[in-house]
Structures are given as C-alpha cells and as structure tokens.
C-alpha cells in the first residue's frame, strides 16, 4: 500500500481528498502507479499522461521506470505559479 499526496487540481479531481491510499505490490514502477491512478481517477490519469502533472517520489521528480516501494513519499505535482518578478 502506498500513499499519494494530492495538491491543486489533482486534489479537486479526487473529490477534495488530500491523499490516496493505493494497493501497489512491491517491485512496481511509477508507470504502474500511474495506471492504478488512471483506472480510479481517469481525469488525473489524463493529466499525468499529458505531462501536466508530475510524479514525485521521495521529493525528486520521478521517471516512469523508477521503482516504488512501500513507505516512499509520493506526490502528484500540478503546475503552480508564485514568487515575484522582482526577486
């Protein structure tokens, strides 16, 4: 079981849930995680496939073949704006 943190539009598309608990056996990869998310939340899956939302594992942007292990910190990161032009 892994926990995926949601932010911004991904949180909204999941019914305002801040996190998802997903069954993902050991040895699975980020691409397998994306498939599980897509099956349960097709609109989030579409954003992931179109690279509009990135997957972070242990605070690093993850590529699709990275292995996901129980206890990893996983987050879906939608685009966001911030900061100031004067900095």
The DSSP letter of residue 67 is B
Question: Does residue 23 lie within any of the structural domains?
Answer: yes
Q: Give me the CATH number covering residue 53.
A: 3.10.20.30
Residue 24 lies in a domain: yes
The total number of structural domains in the chain stands at 1
Tell me what pLDDT residue 25 has: 84
Tell me the pLDDT of the chain (87 aa) as tens digits: 889 999 999 999 999 999 999 888 888 999 999 999 999 999 999 999 998 999 999 999 999 999 999 888 999 999 876 555 555
Determine the structural domain holding residue 45 and report its residue range: 2-77
pTM (two decimals) = 0.85
Can you say how many angstroms the Cα of residue 7 is from the centroid of all Cα atoms in its chain?
9
With beta carbons less than 8 A apart as the criterion, state whether 72 and 58 touch: yes
Q: Residue 81's pLDDT is what?
A: 60
- Running DSSP on this structure, what letter comes out for residue 29? B
Q: What is the edge-to-edge ordering of all strands in the sheet holding 2-5?
A: 19-22, 2-5, 74-77, 54-57, 60-61
């Amino acid at each position: 079981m892994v926990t995926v943190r949601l932010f911004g539009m991904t949180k909204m598309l999941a019914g305002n849930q801040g996190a998802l608990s997903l069954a993902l056996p050991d040895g699975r990869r980020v691409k397998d995680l994306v498939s599980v998310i897509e099956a349960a939340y097709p609109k989030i899956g579409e954003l992931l496939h179109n690279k509009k939302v990135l997957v972070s594992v242990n605070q690093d942007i993850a590529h699709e073949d990275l292995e996901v292990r129980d206890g990893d910190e996983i987050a879906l990161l939608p685009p966001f704006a911030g900061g100031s032009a004067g900095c």
